[in-house]
Structure 1
Amino acid sequence: MRAAEFRGTPDDLLEIDTLSELTQASARRTDSPDPAGPAPTVLKFGGTSVADAGAFERVATIVRMHGGPRPVVVVSALAGMTDALLASVTTAAQADVGRARQSVEGQLDRHREVARRLLAREEAASFDATVARARREIVELLERLPTEWEAQAALRDEVASHGERLAASLLAATLAAAGLPTRAVDARRCIVTDEAHGQATPLAPDTERRTRAELLPLLDGGLVPVLGGYIAAARRGRTTTLGRGGSDYTAALVGAALRAGEIQIWTDVSGVLTADPRVVPRARPIPRLSYAEAAELAYFGARVLHPKTIQPAMEQRIPVRICNSRAPEDRGTVVTAEPDVQPETVKAIAHKTGVTVLQITSTGMLGAYGFLRALFEVFDRYRTVVDVVTTSEVSVSLTLEDVRSLPQILGELRPLGDVSVEPERAIVCVVGEGLRTTPGIAARIFTTVRDINVSLISQGASRVNLTFVIAEDRVRDAVRRLHEAFFEREPAPVGAAVEPGG
């Protein structure tokens, strides 16, 4: 059996070696002059880092102490705000606009409360007026939803954008109150995308040009730009969004455009951990990751980093540091182009649940030209991302996380061959640069989980991960065993048998 790893749509079939190509290309890049003065530092703060007044105060201290000479701040919506806004869209679309409006009021009041606690009376009143304008705009959008069905995706993005827009205004006012000269910037003036509402793709040349034009004059004038993540605009000006968790991606795009010295992702944990602490309480921070390792971990479940964050940073060889806003003195994790001098064989165990496996079997694959392209064009039409793929001479096995369009996808796949569906699966991903060069590592991994049925195995083109699929109800056990074998025991010879744990 041939094994290959692929994530995405047909256009991506030509990009399976993207990580290795980008690593080589990043060393050759000499285009676009650096901005005048010291390289900026981009600091991104997630929703849990701006959850309340105390969190805003911590952020102000971090920007003042850790931001370097030219900080640029990217902020997510307050924790819970985006969920509330999207829920209001769903409710309004069902013709219950009154209840939709009420569901947002409490979140808007949270913003007012933070402003009252942190800002002087005049500044708090000014921000209160900003909240009132946002409320009017949100209500107008919600009232349009029941009748403007063809525009619902666009209206949804407009409503959702208010979370980051309000957070940026509030954080800019908080930083100004702490003595930092700031300017709130509408991210839609910087990040340019296509018109795929809800999951828009940035247009790199336009984004770089507009970001530099918008932010460099502010930096040169000694101001701290503060912009909301996640939101963007298409070329014709319509609001778009980058997908949930997209604020990390915004920070990376801004950092790449400005040739930043570092991109800092501030969250509620002290870096990327060796496993999900909800599954493995003894998981510990990883001091250093390569771009390839970080990309694999982000894609397969490391919740502190958005999967798309790594590529813009890697193209410009910008270090990405993951830090804890509640413990800024912790080292965190730094992601760089420079691998460890003595890389550990395994850096982390990631996993992803809620996975469905499809197997397409067809003798028509034998010697057929274009079969895989026809297969993946089906997923492209329904904008459904494929996580992992393995192929043999007569079959293709693949995994999906998004199954909203599965009935339609199955209808189009069946003319291509026999299709079987295995729901309630999970992906386990063992990640580490040392996998490239360590003989016997696969034997050690699969000996550790030898009594758990494995239905699919893949090692990606980057060769820093080994991925396999198991039943979802066994994933916690598998991850705990692997973590114990590689991080909690005395190192054993790679070829030695490892007894499966309890």
Structure 2
Amino acid sequence: MSDCPPSPQLSEAAERRPPTAVASCPSSPAASPAPAVARDQLDHCNGQRNVYKFGATALCRPARFCDLIHVVRTERARVAALVVSAMDPTPAQLLRAVAFAAAGDASSALNVVDKLQAETLSIATATLRELHVKPVDDMEALIVGLWTPLRELLVGMSLLQEQTAPATDAVLAFGEQLTAALVARLLTQAGIDALYVDARDWLLTDETHGSANVLFDESRTKLRQQRTGWSPEVVPVITGSIGCTRNGRTTTLGRNGADYTATLVGAMLRADYVVIHTDTAGVMTADPDIVDRAVALSHLSHYEALELAMYSTRMFHARTMVPLIKSGVPMFIRNMMDPSGRGTYISAVGRTGTHETCTTSLEHLAIIEARTRILQDGSSRQANIGARVTKVLEALRIPVWLSIRGAHGQAISVVVPLDKEVQARAAIDTELSAEIASHEVDCVNSESPVTMLSIVTEDLSKVPHHRTRFFGSLADADIEVLAVGQGTSLRSLSCVIRGIDTKVAVRRVHDAFNVDCLVTNVVLLGCNHIALDVVHQLHKLQERYWSQHKARVNIVGFNPNCDDFLYDPKGFAYEELASCLEACRSTNAVMSASSANEPTPYAGAPSLTHLNELQDLAIPIVLDCSGQSNTQDLYSACIERGIHVVASNARSVCRLPSTLWRESTATTTRTESGRTFFMHTSTVGASLPIIDTLGNILRTGDRILGIDTSLSGSMNFVANEVMKGKKLSEAVGEVLCRGYCERDPREDFTGTDMVAKVVVLARALGVHLHESEVRVEPFIPHSVLDTIAWSHDMEVDDIVTGLEAYDEEFRERYYMPAVSESKRLCYVASINLAGSLSIEATIRPLLVSEDHPVYYTKDNEVAFGVSSVQYPNPLVLKGSGTGASASATGVLRDVLTILSRLSGNNVRA
């Protein structure tokens, strides 16, 4: 329901405006437009004479006709006229009938009309029923009578077996006539006096059938003369999109021509507002079918709207804005189903200082390029090929959406409709055949399908960062730009991209201009404590992420169990995710079912279909907390698609091929284009910033000499418990119960997990180190572990029992010497880089004294000591390095790092 207050009914004399407000026309530049209304004062409810237009999609079923009648009844006092389009899908069906008739199939053509007639009668009857008014006795006769001339016309076309532009216009006009007549009759039956007005009685055009040009002065005179015969108590219902030549032949105005009719009526009758009713909330910042975050703009200038019409915003006819620009009449576009909604105002007032920017995409195009091989200077008399290409395309009336010329016309790229590519290229080849044969001009090249991507904003030329954000967002998505052009009005910027990149490009560019926060769409892999803690932290910290980082994390995929994967591009609620992951991890088993059988394909990984969908979303990230090591194919597939990867498991990282690594000290690996991040800082030290610190040291030019570190928080916990007097088996039981170990705890006991972390550290130092090159002494010997019957369903007590026989030997070997020598037992990795090109790495249980970097670790802490030329005494980092919470913090830090890097490429004004 509209929230507009009623306005008093005006007499004819009171409706007249002062001379300064007289509407002007395109041929009368000296006339003054109506004074512009300030943006914050625009309100169609204050209008006393508004023209209302109802679109085809807003008139597609009985409920929408009822909405129309409700709007007119509520706002009757300010309704100067209605303009209606043919109801959907009548135009498409009429074109089918034309095609049948032109093929000589009159029967099929008339069948189309029969179906349209039946559907129209059904809609009319249902509308009257919903309005609770009595049926119209002659409704069927009205509809049949309107269709009778159409039947005769189609039969005539079938006899001639030809489809001419004038005949097609004549057929399409019946859709407009029927809808307008039906609306007028329904309004009258609902108690609102209405008058059917055929626009052909006043709207004169030239003879350009299909896209006729309006003869404004003559049309205005005829409309104003006709208007004198309209009673103030009657609502005129005018057919949209059709006109008439001087000799009486029907013409149409082209796509969205009813909007053009409405603005012509508004300008000619000096309306206060033209109110357009459609099926969207207004002019959207992007196509909502592509960008689900698109919102309605609150305001546009006339010239911005004109620019949008030129760059294929399907909402506007190319000439819709011309009458409004000349007359100064504002337009208001609102949703038919929500007439009290915000909507979009379009007026003469500029829109500087706002961030809302429209992103448009014109698809199904081809780009054709011709260039000279022998460069000419500006004084050459040789006709430039740019002018010749343009001339030949104009002669064939092939639309050119974008034309880019090189200096002196020696090269030209043109963007044409895809269905005209072959014709255009052949014409250019013919025109330049002599030069191509003499090798003065390269062979003509073309590429298709391509898309013309554009942004439109009033202050494009005043804010240099707009261009940075436009091309930066495309670069971040690794989208190649084939051509660039800027509108002469300086309100638009366009580029040509490959058609396959359209969705990603529109979403990225739209978000760069219209989304105040960075929204990342994350696939969370792993059904374990770490994945659950990631969800808990995201839920708990979402407000802080918003306030501090302007970021929002949307989880679109996850593992409800170890073998399945769920995906929803709209995202899952954190509560739902937590509930599923809680149920998944509630088991007493020590190892997951798959850990004993690796390497096998990762059953819980997203499919290529899911990855293809994910790459279309804003800032896609695969966050792998699964602990799987056989993820090479998954990571490669992600990187190829521009999907960022955050890995939490060192084994999955160290086994990757060198093509996925950047051999340097930085904390990320990126694709060759430098746009897709592969983050893995949490694989070493979890939340402890070990790799970041190492990178910072090396970036200063310092040289690392050696590293002593205890990177296994689980084995440090066991060692600390043993030093407190516990038996080895008891300490192992405790660490398993706390969930500090890997999916297969043997990776911790044997040092395999530590080896992977050392390899990752080495690569961070720029040194290639294979796992087999690390000398390892297990924390618990293989001979002892082999006495245990390992299985995926074994429990903690099974392992504790299996280790009890080794308790005394372990105590005598490590605990007793440590106590006697006042040392502590730690599981230490040592990396020696004293040699210029060599690296030596060892891992072993070690009794350390107080001066050792890892001596003061407690519980499950890890310690990292690094010696360098600048730090002869080791620089030591110490803190929690294992457990679900620390690991979750580490991977989320990597996610925020990606968002920070990307936001740096989209600087806001």
Query: How far apart, in 1, do the equivalents of 2:451 and 2:191 lie?
Result: 49
SS in 2 for 1:335: strand
Q: Higher mean Cα deviation, 439-448 or 330-339?
A: 439-448
8 Å Cα contact 1:378-1:413 kept in structure 2: no
Query: How far apart, in 1, do the equivalents of 2:89 and 2:377 lie?
Result: 48
Deviations 1:112-156 (A, max 9, x none): 123323459997333322221233212211112134367722111
Query: How far apart, in 2, do the equivalents of 1:365 and 1:47 lie?
Result: 55
Q: Is 2:400 aligned against 1:386? A: yes
Query: How far apart, in 1, do the equivalents of 2:401 and 2:104 lie?
Result: 36
Task: For residue 437 of structure 1, report the CA deviation from its aligned partner.
Answer: 0.7
Matched with 1:88 is: 97
TM, length-normalised to structure 2: 0.48
Q: Is 2:22 aligned against 1:48? A: no
Q: Is 2:81 aligned against 1:72? A: yes
The code of the aligned residue for 2:416 comes to L
SS in 1 for 2:397: coil
User: Which residue of 214, 223, 228 corresponds with 1:211?
Assistant: 223
Which structure would you say has the larger Rg? Answer: 2
User: Which residue of 336, 349, 357 corresponds with 1:347?
Assistant: 357
Q: Is 2:413 aligned against 1:397? A: yes
Task: For residue 226 of structure 1, report the CA deviation from its aligned partner.
Answer: 0.6
SS in 1 for 2:295: coil
8 Å Cα contact 1:193-1:240 kept in structure 2: yes
Query: How far apart, in 2, do the equivalents of 1:405 and 1:473 lie?
Result: 18
The code of the aligned residue for 2:191 comes to G
User: Which residue of 209, 212, 228 corresponds with 1:200?
Assistant: 212
Q: Higher mean Cα deviation, 255-264 or 114-123?
A: 114-123
Matched with 1:462 is: 489
8 Å Cα contact 2:367-2:415 kept in structure 1: yes
Matched with 2:500 is: 473
Task: For residue 371 of structure 1, report the CA deviation from its aligned partner.
Answer: 7.1
Q: Higher mean Cα deviation, 377-386 or 421-430?
A: 377-386
Matched with 2:457 is: 432
Task: For residue 24 of structure 1, report the CA deviation from its aligned partner.
Answer: 12
Query: How far apart, in 2, do the equivalents of 1:303 and 1:454 lie?
Result: 24
Matched with 2:146 is: 134
Deviations 1:189-222 (A, max 9, x none): 122111122222212222222222223431x543
SS in 2 for 1:29: coil
Matched with 2:798 is: none
Task: For residue 379 of structure 1, report the CA deviation from its aligned partner.
Answer: 3.6
Q: Which fold has the larger relative contact order, with Cα–Cα distance below 8 Å and residues 6 or more apart in sequence?
A: 1
Task: For residue 315 of structure 1, report the CA deviation from its aligned partner.
Answer: 1.1
Task: For residue 468 of structure 1, report the CA deviation from its aligned partner.
Answer: 0.6
Change (3 A) 1:396 1:405: closer
Map 1:92-107 onto structure 2 (within 5 A): 92-107=101-116
User: Which residue of 184, 205, 221 corresponds with 1:172?
Assistant: 184
Deviations 1:435-490 (A, max 9, x none): 12112321221111112111111111111111111001101001111122222244
8 Å Cα contact 1:145-1:152 kept in structure 2: no
8 Å Cα contact 1:41-1:264 kept in structure 2: yes
Deviations 1:212-257 (A, max 9, x none): 2223431x54321111111111111011111132111111122122
Task: For residue 496 of structure 1, report the CA deviation from its aligned partner.
Answer: 7.2
Matched with 1:14 is: none
Query: How far apart, in 1, do the equivalents of 2:295 and 2:25 lie?
Result: 27
Matched with 1:356 is: 366
Task: For residue 80 of structure 1, report the CA deviation from its aligned partner.
Answer: 0.4
Q: Higher mean Cα deviation, 354-363 or 439-448?
A: 354-363
8 Å Cα contact 2:283-2:297 kept in structure 1: yes
Change (3 A) 1:414 1:346: farther
8 Å Cα contact 2:425-2:444 kept in structure 1: no
The code of the aligned residue for 1:174 comes to L
Query: How far apart, in 2, do the equivalents of 1:214 and 1:47 lie?
Result: 26
Q: Is 2:909 aligned against 1:498? A: no
Query: How far apart, in 1, do the equivalents of 2:473 and 2:163 lie?
Result: 51
Query: How far apart, in 1, do the equivalents of 2:126 and 2:120 lie?
Result: 10
Query: How far apart, in 2, do the equivalents of 1:372 and 1:25 lie?
Result: 32
Change (3 A) 1:454 1:151: closer
8 Å Cα contact 2:50-2:80 kept in structure 1: yes
Q: Higher mean Cα deviation, 101-110 or 71-80?
A: 101-110
SS in 2 for 1:397: strand
8 Å Cα contact 2:282-2:335 kept in structure 1: yes
Deviations 1:412-443 (A, max 9, x none): 66315764322200011111112121123212
8 Å Cα contact 1:192-1:232 kept in structure 2: yes
Change (3 A) 1:499 1:116: closer
SS in 2 for 1:162: helix
Change (3 A) 1:235 1:402: farther
Map 1:107-256 onto structure 2 (within 5 A): 107-119=116-128, 124-148=136-160, 152-218=164-230, 221-256=232-267
The code of the aligned residue for 1:124 comes to V
User: Which residue of 282, 293, 296 corresponds with 2:307?
Assistant: 296
Change (3 A) 1:402 1:216: farther
The code of the aligned residue for 2:312 comes to G
8 Å Cα contact 1:345-1:433 kept in structure 2: no
Q: Higher mean Cα deviation, 434-443 or 448-457?
A: 434-443
Map 1:413-428 onto structure 2 (within 5 A): 414-416=430-432, 419-428=444-453
Q: RMSD between aligned alpha carbons?
A: 3.1
Change (3 A) 1:175 1:370: farther
Query: How far apart, in 1, do the equivalents of 2:49 and 2:92 lie?
Result: 32
Deviations 1:1-59 (A, max 9, x none): xxxxxxxxxxxxxxxxxxxxx99999962399xxxxx8631111011211122111110
Deviations 1:379-408 (A, max 9, x none): 444333322222212122222237358526
Q: Is 2:452 aligned against 1:452? A: no
Query: How far apart, in 2, do the equivalents of 1:457 and 1:283 lie?
Result: 24
Query: How far apart, in 1, do the equivalents of 2:512 and 2:191 lie?
Result: 50
Q: Higher mean Cα deviation, 182-191 or 220-229?
A: 220-229
Q: Higher mean Cα deviation, 80-89 or 289-298?
A: 289-298
SS in 2 for 1:87: helix
Matched with 2:31 is: 29
Query: How far apart, in 2, do the equivalents of 1:365 and 1:189 lie?
Result: 58
Query: How far apart, in 2, do the equivalents of 1:247 and 1:405 lie?
Result: 30
In the alignment, structure 1 segments of 5+ residues that lack a partner are 1-21, 33-37
Matched with 1:316 is: 327
The code of the aligned residue for 2:404 comes to T
Task: For residue 346 of structure 1, report the CA deviation from its aligned partner.
Answer: 4.7
8 Å Cα contact 1:346-1:430 kept in structure 2: no
SS in 2 for 1:192: coil
Q: Higher mean Cα deviation, 222-231 or 261-270?
A: 222-231
Q: Higher mean Cα deviation, 390-399 or 209-218?
A: 209-218
